[in-house]
Structures are given as structure tokens and as C-alpha cells.
Amino acid sequence: MARRAPTADPEDAGGSGRGPASWAAGVPGVAHALGQSFAQMGARRSLATLRLLNQVDGFDCPGCAWPDPDPNHRHAAEFCENGAKAVAEEATLRRVTPAFFAEHSLTDLAGRSGYWLGQQGRLVEPMLKTAGSDHYLPVGWDEAFGVIAAELTALASPDEAVFYTSGRTSNEAAFLYQLFVRAFGTNNLPDCSNMCHESSGTALTETIGIGKGSVTLEDLEEADLVLVVGQNPGTNHPRMLTSLEKVKRRGGSIVAVNPLPEASLMRFRNPQRPSGVVGAGTTLADQFLKIRLNGDLALFQALSRRLLDAEHAAPGTVLDHDFLAAHTTGFDAFAAHLRTLDDEEVSVATGLAAAEIDELAARVLAADKIIVCWAMGLTQHANAVGTIREVVNFLLLRGNIGRPGAGVCPVRGHSNVQGDRTMGIWERMPDAFLDRLGAEFHFSPPRHHGYDVVDAIRAMRDGRASVFVGLGGNFVAATPDSAVTEAAIRSCRLTVQISTKLNRSHAVTGQVALILPTLGRTEVDVQAGGPQVVTVEDSMGSVHASRGTIAPAGPALRSEVAIVTGLAAATFAARLAHRGSVPAADAAGAPAADPAWADPASQVAPVVDWAGLAGDYRHVRAHIARVIPGFDGYEEKIVQPGGFLLPHPPRDAREFRTPSGRAVFTVNPLTVLRVPPGHLLLQTVRSHDQYNTTIYGRDDRYRGVRGARRVVLVNPDDLATLGLADGDRVDLVSVWTDGAQRRAEDFRIIAYPTARECAAAYFPETNVLVPLDSTAERSNTPTSKSLVIRLEPRA
């Protein structure tokens, strides 16, 4: 029964590689998207759905977290090709029915590719797999909640359960979910962010006192210089290209720092402007630094060093001395450390010529307002937190934080991943949040930190956790060390997936498994109190309403809010019956005086009207407004077109809520990743035709790859050194300090102009290569962008 992920996908046989495209978007992009939409939804439904995408009266795109322009500046079609694909994937007319599960056993499903699973359509009925069975059977909602409640109540400690969240969940569902989990008695709230921007949150909180980006869309558009570092916006945040184009039109410049010459950064044709469809497009990047994987810490140190040298040569002309004196701490130690920077080390770490860094430094000196944007190319490395702290150091030197047109811009992934964090989805929420949550609901939230993603896998592997609940996402496919993770999940007593679409996490399960089908962002959500809206927060801290517009995929579907509240009500009822004890609050809702109240295990249930909250989400927002700063007047603010901006002290007032009250310069040791002879560094990336583990197709158009996903991109000079050639078939073998060899079988080599010694291949196929224990210092994020591998020719 324990079948491994399929290594050979029969439909993924050949494919071709033609090298990177020289431009991105334009006609093929939109035509491609509409083609996919029509195939999944039919023409009428496609146009009706896409018309409301990212409009004030419509729904928020379930794709990425890039912000929408203010309502007066929105296009009639304010979406991109990949947003349209995300919508088509959700609004598909295909259905996964009980008959489907009668036909396909779990063993069968575990042998299918992620692409095949996703293509089967929307989940429409709650399904239960009992212990020992290899099939899911339909189950009623109440019975499903009863199964979960019984398993949760039987645990020796609430910490034996893990509650994962992926970043599409609405603010309302996320808030109730963390409330339920904390009232149940644990902080085990791992989320996709642990694998994503955790390093950004850690570094920014330490240095500027808040783990979020400090710029708005308007800031971005008025910057003089935008550095796009470790990010592939043409595929992953296509609407960002429109903003970058505006930067160019206003005379600003853009620099791309990336081991791959990503097409979108080179040239862009805007499908929303007629000239973009017919014209030559805009050349976006003024400079492209083809950096070695993991070389960014060295690059930012080298840049800052050049600024310090320039200041030395012409005192008082380079650094923002007023800002440094009034708002920062730690400058002297930082400057002293940079004086020891070794050019030779920088050259090895970055693979860049000194002249390239000089050119960038000259651009920096010429720019008054600078923004640095980044994504997974910075966050998924062992030294990721240090690298992002260096980005902050670099910006602080010239006062590039907390004034218009300047700042830090970590570009988030999932459409509400930032909102979920704001709502308390985090295994380490600060005490101030827990205090207010406890006061609002008259209970005492647990204080000890919970498990993040990597620790949750370890806990399941080691038998310290045996119930897994996933609010969205695809845990077994998105996480590292697939073989270890799948075994960990299979050792659980119960696994529960609250999902829209079928994926590998429904096939690789605990002894007992449940699928709870949920409404997606595109669908109308009607509750006892009438039609509901939910709210989301974008990558720049702006919160707005999202209203589904199409009919639900099936009558049995429930909203995430309804599922979470149903689960909570059932669990606390079961706990009450199980303990045979009285609720720890009296009828009036006052907290019990019993000192045992402080012990979460002794709590039975907080005073919450779960059904009432599910009936009308305005009641949920009223609680959020009282618990979370920045949400006062929530209900009134979300009816304003475009929503409202959450407070951000550095952006709003140059206020830094660090222990010293100042922005912090940090000292970060430069470690150079040296690759043993015969080996390469591998980064695992997204193709143009996927959304994380959801595979839309097998092309990666902008990189010129057609019809294949099991490919590895390698520099031709490295191929020559390794005695390999374009088209060769190889296994990817990762080597790690634990001595274990992790193997991904049968990849085809594509000769590609990536940085020397730096290969690239797609995830999730390559997650088997990422060692569980290979994580970033302090953020514990898996190092998905720097794996030491060798290529073994297939016999």
C-alpha cells in the first residue's frame, strides 16, 4: 500500500528545450489563459467569472498576493494569465464524486501524478477512509466532525495534534481556526509560510520591528531604482510587471539579480495596453546580475561596502547621517565588519565580476529612492535570514526605509498568506496577541510555542503527534524530504484535509482519513444570515473584501468558516462529554476562578457561539476588530472600494518597534557555499504552468521548455566539465551531511544559460532531494534553493 510518488509520468516522456524566451506576456499569455479557462469552465462561465476577478464587487484572485491598483486605476481585465489559470482550476466543471472514489483506491491514487489528480476536478462530498480500508466512502458532515472530535478528545495532550494552514484561507476562517486550535490547547499551527517567507518575517522583525514589507504600490511606482532579487515575477506575480513598467516609464531603473535570465525581467509586453499587444514591449531590466545561487548576502555586503567607501572618499555625501543618528543602532559594528570584507570571497560567492557590482553601486548612488523586492530566491537558503538582514543594512545606509518610494518589499506568495499570519496562524504568536485573544473569549491560550512545518514532520515521524488537520494546501507534496514526510503522515492515526481539489495529500494518509470539501474564493457563500463576504490582506498590508460570484461546485460543499466552526463545536461537545466536567466558565461567560484554568489541558471550552459566528461573518469580524490592532471599524472599512491599509510603523512614521526603538544594523558572517568537484548546486523552482503543487500543464513557456517537467537546467560549460550533454538522462542525487543519498530518478538535461555550477529543476518532483534537517538558521525554512547534487547518468 505504501506506494511511492510516481517517478515516471508516462505522459512526461520527451519534451523539448529551446532556451529562454526574450520577452514575456502579451498575446500568447492571454490567449493561453483563455484557452485553459474555456477547456475547464466553458466559454460563458469563463467570461462571467473572469470579468469579476479583482474587481471591487468581485472576488480576490486566488493566485498570488500582489496588490490590486486603487479602484480608479483598475483595468476591466485586472488579472493575468496565471490568475486566470488559478481561477479555471477552481471553477472547473469537472467533479470528483463518490463514484470516482469507488473506482480508484488510495493505492491507485498514490500512483498517479499530481497533474492527473488535479485534472479530476472539484471535490464535492465529504469522504471517509476507515482504518484498514483502501477506499474512501461518502460520510455525512456530522459523522465526519464526530470522527475528528473523538480522535482529538482521545489524545493524551492537545500537542499531539497538528493544524496546518495554506495561504488561501480567508481572514475569517483563519481567525476562527487559530481560536479553535488554541482553545483546544495547542499552538501547533504550522503554515505554508514556514516554507516560504518565514526568513523574511524573522529578519524584518529583528531589524525594523515588523515582519512585513514597508512599501505600497504607489511607493513602488515612484521609486528611482527597484532591485528584483530572487524572484520570477513574469510567472509568479505577473501583475507586478505592470508596476515595473510604470517605474520605467517614469524614468526609474530596474535591476534583476538572478542565476537565471528570467524572460519577464528582460522584456515585457503588457497585454492590458494595445501597444503591448503589437509593439516591441518594454525592456525592463537595465542591468542583470547573473548571480551564483546563495551569493546575495555577499552581494549586499559588497554594495554596502562600496557605499561606505564612497562616503569615506566624500564625507557627508553618501550616507543619510540624520536618519542613521535618529533612527538606527549598531552602525559602528556593522561598518567595522564590512571593512574586513574580502573581495576574493565576494567573487567566489557571487560569481560576479567586481565591475558588475561597481556598476550597480553607481546606480545606487544615483538613486534617491530605492526599493528591494525579493521572494523565494532569498528566503530558501541556509543563510536566508542573514541575507535579508543585509538587504535591510543596505537600505538603512541611505535612509531608504520609511519614506515614499523607498523600502523593503518581500513579495508574498499565496493570496492571503500575509492575512493568515495577521489573524494568528503562527506557532509563535507574541504574548500581546494571546492576551487579547484570551480576554476576548474568556480563556487562557497556551503559551509554549508549537511546531512549525519541519518540527511537525519530526513530531509525526517520532510518534509525538498522531492527528493532522490541513486547512487547504498539499502538505505531503509541498514539504521537504518526501519519503520521510510521507512515512510520517502514514504513521498518523488520523489525517484530515479541508480542500477544494484532489491532491497527493488525499492519497497518502493516516490510518483514518477524511476529505472535507470546501467552497473556493470564486463561489457564492450563503449562510443563515444571507450571502457572505470574506476578507483578505495582500502583500502590501491592504485588506479588502472578496465576494464569490459563481454557484458552488456542489450542494454538499461548506465554507471554510462553516467547517472550522462545525469542527470546533463538535470537538468541545465531545470534550465536555468525555471529561464529564463542567465548562470552565460560568453561564454568564466569566472566566472560572479555579487556578487550574491556567492549564490548557484542564480547559473544556471557551465561551463561543460557533454556530452564530458561522451564520454571519460580520460577527467574526467584530471579534477580529477587538483582538487585532488596526482593524477598528473593520466592517465599515471593507465596504470602501479598495479596502484599507493596516498600520505599519516604519512605513507610516519611521517608528521601529524593536527593543531599542530603532532600526537595527546587524553583522552577518559571510559563508561561501563551496560545491565539491563533480557536483552542482540545485535550486527547485516553479514552472510557468504550475501553482505550487497544482500542475496546470507541462510547459514552461518563458524558459522555452515544452511538454516536460522532469528536466534539469544546467550551464553548457558545466555539462562539458561533467562530461554530459543536452538531452542526457540522469538521476539527481543530493548529498547531505547525514550521509544519506536522496535520489530523484530520470531527469532529462537541458543546456541552459544559468549561472555556473547552478542547476534548476521543478518542485514538487524534486522535494525528495531536500533533507528535512537542511533548514535556514533561525527561520527553519527548508533550503529548497541550494541543494548540493550530482548528476548520475542512467544506464
Ligand X SMILES: Nc1nc2c(c(=O)[nH]1)N[C@H]1C(S)=C(S)[C@@H](COP(=O)(O)OP(=O)(O)OC[C@H]3O[C@@H](n4cnc5c(=O)[nH]c(N)nc54)[C@H](O)[C@@H]3O)O[C@H]1N2
Task: Name the site residues for ligand X (rule: CB under 6 A).
Answer: 63-64, 82, 166, 168, 192, 195-196, 229-232, 235-237, 257-260, 262, 291, 293-294, 296, 375-377, 380-381, 413-414, 471-475, 478, 498-501, 503, 518, 520-521, 560, 683-686, 690-694, 763, 766-767, 770, 784-785
Kindly state the smallest distance separating residue 375's Cβ from ligand X, in Å. Answer: 3
Q: Are strands 267-269 and 24-25 parallel, antiparallel or unpaired?
A: parallel
Contact with Mo ion (CB under 5 A) among 213, 230, 413, 548? 413
Size of the site for Mo ion (CB under 5 A): 2
Alpha carbon distance 680, 97 (integer Å):
45
Kindly state the smallest distance separating residue 320's Cβ from ligand X, in Å. Answer: 26
- Establish how many alpha carbons lie within 13 A of residue 290's alpha carbon, considering only the half-sphere containing its beta carbon: 13
DSSP H or E stretch at residue 394: helix 384-397
Kindly state the smallest distance separating residue 726's Cβ from ligand X, in Å. Answer: 19
Alpha carbon distance 369, 401 (integer Å):
9
Kindly state the smallest distance separating residue 181's Cβ from ligand X, in Å. Answer: 15
Taking CB within 5 to 8 Å according to partner kind, which of Mo ion, ligand X, none is near residue 110?
Answer: none
Report the residue number, 192 or 371, with the smaller CB distance to Mo ion. 192
Report the residue number, 92 or 603, with the smaller CB distance to ligand X. 92
Which residue, judged by CB position, is nearest to Mo ion in the bound state? 413
Q: Is 297 helix (H, G, I), strand (E, B) or coil?
A: helix
Alpha-helical segments (H) within 677-765: 716-722
Report the residue number, 297 or 335, with the smaller CB distance to ligand X. 297
Cell readout for 333 is: 559594528
Which amino acid appears at position 665 of this protein? F
CA distances for 471 relative to 284, 318, 526, 775, angstroms: 38, 49, 20, 24
Alpha carbon distance 384, 392 (integer Å):
13
Taking CB within 5 to 8 Å according to partner kind, which of Mo ion, ligand X, none is near residue 229?
Answer: ligand X
Closest to 361 (Cα-Cα) out of 249, 265, 244, 227: 227
Q: Given the rule CB under 5 A, which of 59-67, 355-363, 406-414, 617-625 is the region that contacts Mo ion?
A: 406-414
Taking CB within 5 to 8 Å according to partner kind, which of ligand X, Mo ion, none is near residue 761?
Answer: none
Report the residue number, 196 or 646, with the smaller CB distance to Mo ion. 196
Which value, to the nearest 10 degrees, does the dihedral of the CA atoms of residues 531, 544, 168, 432 take? -110
- Is-contact 485 476, C-beta < 8 A? yes
* Per-residue b or e along 153-183, where b marks 16 or more CB atoms closer than 10 Å to that residue's CB: bebeebbbbbbbbbbbbbbbbbbbbbbbbbb
Alpha carbon distance 452, 736 (integer Å):
22
Kindly state the smallest distance separating residue 685's Cβ from ligand X, in Å. Answer: 4
What are the backbone angles phi and psi of residue 584, rounded to the nearest 5°? Answer: -80, 10
Which amino acid appears at position 340 of this protein? T
Alpha carbon distance 535, 209 (integer Å):
25
Q: Given the rule CB under 5 A, which of 28-36, 65-73, 193-201, 459-467 is the region that contacts Mo ion?
A: 193-201
Kindly state the smallest distance separating residue 639's Cβ from ligand X, in Å. Answer: 23
Taking CB within 5 to 8 Å according to partner kind, which of ligand X, Mo ion, none is near residue 293?
Answer: ligand X
Site for Mo ion, residues 196 to 225, rule: CB under 5 A: 196
Report the residue number, 542 or 786, with the smaller CB distance to ligand X. 786
Taking CB within 5 to 8 Å according to partner kind, which of ligand X, Mo ion, none is near residue 377?
Answer: ligand X
CA distances for 491 relative to 148, 188, 192, 465, angstroms: 17, 18, 22, 9
Report the residue number, 120 or 328, with the smaller CB distance to ligand X. 120
Taking CB within 5 to 8 Å according to partner kind, which of Mo ion, ligand X, none is near residue 560?
Answer: ligand X
Kindly state the smallest distance separating residue 403's Cβ from ligand X, in Å. Answer: 25
DSSP 653: H
Taking CB within 5 to 8 Å according to partner kind, which of Mo ion, ligand X, none is near residue 207?
Answer: none
Residue listed under C-alpha cell 485573544: 437
Report the residue number, 92 or 207, with the smaller CB distance to ligand X. 92
Alpha carbon distance 315, 308 (integer Å):
10
Report the residue number, 413 or 782, with the smaller CB distance to Mo ion. 413
- Is-contact 132 1, C-beta < 8 A? no
When asked if residue 410 is in the footprint of Mo ion (CB under 5 A), the reply is: no
Which amino acid appears at position 760 of this protein? A
Alpha carbon distance 170, 561 (integer Å):
9
Cis before 98? omega within 30: no
Q: Given the rule CB under 5 A, which of 98-106, 188-196, 278-286, 618-626 is the region that contacts Mo ion?
A: 188-196
Report the residue number, 239 or 369, with the smaller CB distance to Mo ion. 239
Kindly state the smallest distance separating residue 35's Cβ from ligand X, in Å. Answer: 16
Q: 674's torsion region: left (phi>0), alpha (psi -120 to 50) or beta?
A: beta
CA distances for 295 relative to 355, 668, 786, angstroms: 16, 13, 11
Kindly state the smallest distance separating residue 29's Cβ from ligand X, in Å. Answer: 11
Report the residue number, 209 or 238, with the smaller CB distance to Mo ion. 238
Report the residue number, 709 or 785, with the smaller CB distance to ligand X. 785
DSSP H or E stretch at residue 527: strand 526-527
Kindly state the smallest distance separating residue 494's Cβ from ligand X, in Å. Answer: 18
Cell readout for 756 is: 555556473
Alpha carbon distance 447, 601 (integer Å):
12
Kindly state the smallest distance separating residue 425's Cβ from Mo ion, in Å. Answer: 14
Taking CB within 5 to 8 Å according to partner kind, which of Mo ion, ligand X, none is near residue 693?
Answer: ligand X
Report the residue number, 489 or 604, with the smaller CB distance to ligand X. 489
Helix-strand-coil split of the chain, %, nearest 5: 40, 20, 45
Report the residue number, 304 or 379, with the smaller CB distance to Mo ion. 379
Taking CB within 5 to 8 Å according to partner kind, which of Mo ion, ligand X, none is near residue 66?
Answer: none
Taking CB within 5 to 8 Å according to partner kind, which of Mo ion, ligand X, none is near residue 63?
Answer: ligand X
Taking CB within 5 to 8 Å according to partner kind, which of Mo ion, ligand X, none is near residue 264?
Answer: none
Please measure the distance between the N-terminal and C-terminal CA atoms of the chain and give it in whole angstroms.
29
- Is-contact 193 204, C-beta < 8 A? no
Report the residue number, 443 or 696, with the smaller CB distance to ligand X. 696
Taking CB within 5 to 8 Å according to partner kind, which of ligand X, Mo ion, none is near residue 294?
Answer: ligand X
Kindly state the smallest distance separating residue 135's Cβ from ligand X, in Å. Answer: 20
CA distances for 478 relative to 103, 433, 453, 456, 624, angstroms: 27, 29, 10, 14, 30
Taking CB within 5 to 8 Å according to partner kind, which of ligand X, Mo ion, none is near residue 471?
Answer: ligand X
Residue 64: strand pairing partners:
414
Kindly state the smallest distance separating residue 580's Cβ from ligand X, in Å. Answer: 34
Taking CB within 5 to 8 Å according to partner kind, which of Mo ion, ligand X, none is near residue 424?
Answer: none
Kindly state the smallest distance separating residue 268's Cβ from Mo ion, in Å. Answer: 23
Kindly state the smallest distance separating residue 754's Cβ from ligand X, in Å. Answer: 8
What are the backbone angles phi and psi of residue 345, rounded to the nearest 5°? Answer: -60, -40
Taking CB within 5 to 8 Å according to partner kind, which of ligand X, Mo ion, none is near residue 168?
Answer: ligand X
Report the residue number, 49 or 693, with the smaller CB distance to Mo ion. 693
Binding site for Mo ion (CB under 5 A): 196, 413
